[in-house]
Structure 1
Amino acid sequence: MTLREKMFWVFGGVIALLAIASVAGAILGKRARSDSGRATVENLKARVNAWWVMIAVLAVTFALGETATLVVFAFVSFFALREFITLTPTRPGDYLPLLLAFFVILPVQYLLIGHDQYGTFAIFIPVYGFLLLPAVATFAGDTHEFLERSAKLQWATMITIYCISYAPALLLLNIPGYENSNALLLLYLLLIVQLSDVLQYVFGKLFGKTKLAPVVSPSKTVEGLVGGGLTTTLIGGSLYWITPFTWLQATAISLVIVAAGVLGGLTLSAMKRGLGAKDWGVMIEGHGGMLDRMDSVSFAAPMFFHIVRFFFT
């Protein structure tokens, strides 16, 4: 089966599921009687509508090729970083390092990926960015909570630029027998991460009783995690035919992606709760901000990239 045919079947399957979800949402909306029931249905419909838009953008991006994919993810990092900084208190002394993060570090990271410079892009932000950002901030002469302010910007840069950039970096990997098919790896990662979020939400609404982390993420339940996580893992295993993995390898890797995504979601939820916010932003109706959609990806993408690079290249 060719790359185009595999893409057709995967996107066709996703579109079919979204169509079913849209019809189900319309039917449930008419049958809902209580306020809580209507609120849940409206939330579900908003999520499905947002997914229609995201799938359309993803399909166009893949059709345009690797350069377009890098550009789209660079903008994703830009908006995610903006959301993080918007919620995080800053001072005039932070303006220069902020300009450096947005307009130097971010584009350089994606240019390094575009030029297949793995050795450099893997250490550029954790070494040079990590040291340069606080060093530049010292020139403003503002020492008020300097450590806290520097740590926030370093963490924001790591999560929103460095970690997210590992998703399009999958396009760089040279896997024997899998030439010119790396876009499927990126699609696989995004499907598993987002499907895990959706199924955990669904299982949580249907069967959830035990709160997983009530203070950090009140909507997450143990039943949602187990049911949604295991179902996603099995679906990931069944999609082995679009990857260079065997069924068993795909199942194991899917489990790692699901686990990393859960940790990413909880970690960034704890951050925004600490900042007194429910969502990182309002960019995507029904989903909050860009970072609300990419929190799981930010943890899963580096894990997935290095597993594939270590074991399959």
Structure 2
Amino acid sequence: MSQENWAFAATVVVLLGMATLVGRALGRQTQLGLNPAAIAAFNRRVRAWWVICAALSVALLSKWLTVMLFGLVSFAALREFITLTPTRLSDHRALFWVFFFFLPLQYLLVWRNAYPLFSVMIPVFAFVFVPMRVAIAGDPKRFLERVAKIQTGMLICVYCLSYAPAVLYLEAPGLTHSGAARLLFLLVLLSLLSEAVQFAWSRLYGRHVIAPQINQSRTWEGFLGSSATIGLVGAALYQIGATPFTKLWHAAAASMLVAVMGFAGSMTMSAIKRDRRVQDYGVLTEGQPGVLDRADALCFAAPVFYHAVRWFLQG
């Protein structure tokens, strides 16, 4: 690997190591009155982040393997989403098209770098096809609700998440495959790290819960503190040459957007879980978090990060 890649890899290890130490330190601070279950959940997330970042090392080796990896993640996330938002028998053929045609086609278009097409394929063509196919099945009961569930699952789990590997195909003056791979690592790392920082800010300084009925651990202090902190992390990474951005404010703004949109994703998916009265999206093992629990922040951050970086690097 190049010197920049080694520097970035070392930074990833340091940041994840800091998150690990924060989790362990919070677990020992019994006098703070923190919820042991919440701290245990946070530490499980940090361990999962180590695995995720290790798996992402494939991005430095092969673009198509990275696209395939995210395609499998999308398939698992969409399966969890559909399982927790039950559909009727008449929806199964529409779901077949979603899982085995539109999902693979979306990632195929990403792999072929067909940007104008993959950016509209699901929100235009798939969104028109799904209600038509459900209507042909001849079951009008809760028609609008059923169609909305399928479309929402496609939008979040497939369309939005597919923008993460699409970062590898960004074209800009001086941007190499190595630089694009660092951008993907930056997106994933900051979306994960923002959750750790938000957790720490909320537990230590949180006073005003944003939406108690949705998520009692999300506070305004945590949101503002984590957004500012992640922006500073992005600026620091720029200073050491670990990002391909050409301006300091580009790195800081893109990083802050990841934190803001990651927060939006976590809140949105928490609202869906509260509506379905479940704790986690995991469906394979009872009581275990699912793929969508780990990727909720990334799903919302990926498309915004992609377009912001595209504008910054090409502007």
Superposition TM-score, scaled by structure 2 size: 0.90
For the 8 Å contact 2:254–2:309, the answer to whether it is kept is: no
Alpha-carbon shift at residue 17 of structure 1 (Å)? 4.2
Q: Is the 8 A contact 1:25 1:45 kept in 2?
A: yes
Asked if residue 81 in structure 1 is aligned to residue 78 in structure 2, the reply is yes
Residue of structure 2 equivalent to 1:146: 143
2:157 alignment counterpart: 160
Aligned length: 310
1:287 and 1:293 in contact (8 A); partners too: no
- 1:252-309, Cα deviation, whole Å (9 max, x unpaired): 2222222222222212221221111222226799982211222222222111111222
Asked if 2 retains the 8 angstrom alpha-carbon contact of 1:113 and 1:169, the reply is yes
Q: Does 1:306 align with 2:303?
A: no
1:117 matched residue in structure 2: 114
One-letter code of the match for 1:46? R
SS at match of 2:218: strand
Q: Take 2:21 and 2:155, find their aligned partners in 1: how far apart are those partners?
A: 40
Q: Deviations over 1:171-211 (max 9, x none)?
A: 11111012222111111111221111110011111111211
- Asked whether the 8 Å contact 1:46–1:286 carries over to 2, the reply is no
The CA distance in 2 between the partners of 1:261 and 1:294, in whole Å, is 9
Task: Give the conservation status (yes or no) of the 8 Å contact 1:7–1:184.
Answer: yes
Report the RMSD for the aligned CA atoms in angstroms: 2.5
CA deviation after TM superposition for structure 1 residue 169, in Å: 0.7
Alpha carbons 1:46, 1:285 under 8 Å: kept: no
2:12 maps to 14
Contact 1:192 1:257 in 2 (8 A): yes
Identify the match of residue 55 of structure 1 among 53, 56, 62: 53
Consecutive unaligned residues of structure 1, counting only runs of 5 or more, are none
| Counterpart residue number, 1:205 | 203
Structure 2: how far apart are the matches of 1:140 and 1:285?
33
Q: Distance in 2 between matches of 1:109 and 1:250?
A: 28
Structure 2: gaps (5+ residues): none
TM superposition score normalised by structure 1: 0.90
Q: Identity of aligned pairs, percent?
A: 40
Q: In 2, are the aligned partners of 1:213 and 1:220 still within 8 Å (CA)?
A: yes
